[in-house]
Copies of this chain bind each other. A is one copy, B any other.
Amino acid sequence: MLRLKAIFSYDGSEFSGYQVQPGKRTVQLELERVLQTMHKGESVKVVASGRTDAGVHATGQVIHFDSTLTLPNDRWKTALNVQLPRDIRILSVEQVRDDFHARFDAKGKTYRYIWSLNEIHSPFERNFTVHADRYKPNIELMKQASCYLLGTHDFSSFCASNTSVKDFVRTVHSIKLEVQKGSNQLHMVINGNGFLYNMVRIIAGTLWEIAIGKKSVEEIRDILESCDRKKAGKTAPAHGLYLENVEYFE
């Protein structure tokens, strides 16, 4: 039995999220279906760094799985891509130590959130960015507010209420906010040691409300300290979010 780690990308638009759910098309289902075919009908369980919700994309999601097959890394990649649907693409496969765990060994993650600032929301961006609509966001205010979130905090205010998690303390290492000139998109890139359920989308939604003047910069401090989900902004839409990278302990 060899343990393999795969890094992959998916367009979340036509998936009911990452995790297997009865009767739904999910990313995990497609991966396990293809692996089962490659293993002559024997089921292969894949373990991801974490789930993503319906509509959320990934450019660097990570899984591990065990296999009896002995293929060179590049052959693994090609064999999986040939059989996977075109909205999932394997970027790399490598053999790892037997006890590598895609979820428990993750020491950090990077997510990207993208808004389109174009007056008209291009049909080609419609599933991949959230439209700013008539709003002209003040990026400086967003940057100021984002500084309050850096470091180690109880992020209860930024966690969806339907969670089973007990420990709400996480560390956010960086939040970068930048307008990309050519595409006129606003990108938020956030890195931390882990994220609560919907945490990135609630941070995006809250910073956005600050950017458009619905909340003040100073409020972010009260929101964080209150540990009350109701104080934070709305959960920003799923289709603006990308899981970009998962870092592991060596």
Contacts and interface: CB of A to CB of B under 8 A. Distances in A.
A124 B11 CA distance: 6
Contacts of A122: 9, 89
Interface stretch (A80-88, A101-109, A145-153, A164-172): A80-88
A69 interface: no
A126 B87 CA distance: 7
A64 interface: no
Interface string A9-43: 11100000000000000000000000000000000
Chain A interface size band reads: 10 to 19
Contacts of A120: 9, 81, 89-91
A225 to B, nearest CB: 38
A14 to B, nearest CB: 10
Q: Count the copies.
A: 2
A238 B9 CA distance: 24
A208 interface: no
Interface in A81-129: 81, 86-91, 120-124, 126, 128
B121 A89 contact: yes
17 contacts: A9-B120, A9-B122, A9-B123, A9-B124, A10-B123, A11-B123, A11-B126, A57-B123, A86-B121, A87-B123, A88-B123, A89-B120, A89-B121, A89-B122, A89-B123, A90-B120, A91-B120
Interface of A: 9-11, 57, 81, 86-91, 120-124, 126, 128
Which A-B residue pairs are the 5 nearest by beta carbons? Answer: A11-B123, A87-B123, A86-B126, A89-B120, A89-B123
Given A9-B122, A87-B123, 15 more contacts: A9-B120, A9-B123, A10-B123, A11-B126, A57-B123, A57-B124, A81-B120, A86-B121, A87-B126, A88-B123, A89-B120, A89-B122, A89-B123, A90-B120, A91-B120
